[in-house]
Chains A and B, each alone.
Chain A
Amino acid sequence: GQQLNQSPQSMFIQEGEDVSMNCTSSSIFNTWLWYKQEPGEGPVLLIALYKAGELTSNGRLTAQFGITRKDSFLNISASIPSDVGIYFCAGDMDSNYQLIWGAGTKLIIKP
């Protein structure tokens, strides 16, 4: 099925570092969502973006809806151990409740 191109696939960082990940597509999206999934759990919504150019923060997390509507990024500042998990972007092209998902970015924090 169709997927968003999410990168990087994994990140191995030191605690305290800033993190940046992004999703791109050749198609235009109406909505961009960022989720986090921890082992044994379903994804949990972190940030939702509904307008091109929109920049939204949730604590140490910041995400932007690209101006072309074909990309989005998520930044995490000053990473902490509980940030470990898999981060997914998801987008809605047709406003029809059918989300298209990236393959995820696995965040690992070095002890």
Chain B
Amino acid sequence: KAGVTQTPRYLIKTRGQQVTLSCSPISGHRSVSWYQQTPGQGLQFLFEYFSETQRNKGNFPGRFSGRQFSNSRSEMNVSTLELGDSALYLCASSLGQDNKDTQYFGPGTRLTVL
């Protein structure tokens, strides 16, 4: 079974621009969670989608948004990029029917904002 895929793997943007990252979950998984990881920090939860609905949201500004499509693929968007948005963005998929379902992570998209 194919794992979680994320595209692109690397991205360089400048301040003020916007960016869209994509995540394809494992087949059959309906939950997709997004995390931001910065050096020396743990993962910070952005949001979680299940069946095209945002089910949970972390403490990030409104510049960070996401959506999920009917095939469970998810995108996250960051508008008006700031230097501090440079990070590894990880998505994780799970069955989503029980909070004990294992989350499987993709390799991440490394975003650099100049």
A61 CB–B CB distance under 8 Å: no
- Contact (Cβ within 8 A) A3 B42: yes
Which chain B residue has the least Cβ–Cβ distance from A3?
Answer: B42
**Which residue of B4, B42, B105, B108 contacts A103 across the interface (Cβ within 8 Å)?**
B42
B40 engages A98 (CB within 8 Å): no
The winner among A42, A90, A96, A101 for most chain B CB atoms within 10 A is A42
Identify B103's interface contact among A41, A95, A99, A102, CB under 8 A: A99
Interface members, chain A 55-111 (any B CB < 8 Å): 88, 90, 92, 95-104
B: number of interface residues (CB 8 Å):
29
Closest partner residue, chain B, to A99 (CB atom):
B45
- Cβ–Cβ < 8 Å partners of A102 in chain B: 42
Size bracket of the A interface: 20 to 34
CB distance from A49 to the nearest CB of B (A): 11
- Is A88 within 8 A of B43, CB to CB? yes
Q: Answer yes or no: B102 CB below 8 A from chain A CBs.
A: yes
Q: A42-B108, A88-B42, A88-B43 are in contact. Are A97 and B59 (CB under 8 A)?
A: no
Set B44, B55, B90: member contacting A97, Cβ < 8 A: B55
Chain A nearest CB: distance from B110 CB in Å? Answer: 9
Q: Does B92 count as interface, using CB distance less than 8 angstroms?
A: yes
Give Cα A43–Cα B58 distance, bound, in whole angstroms. 19
For window 86-108 of chain B, which residues contact chain A by CB distance below 8 Å?
Answer: 90, 92, 94, 96, 99-100, 102-108
Binding site for A on B (CB under 8 A): 4, 31, 33, 35, 40-45, 48, 50, 55-56, 58-59, 90, 92, 94, 96, 99-100, 102-108
List the 4 closest A-B pairs by CB distance, nearest first. A42-B105, A101-B42, A101-B43, A103-B42
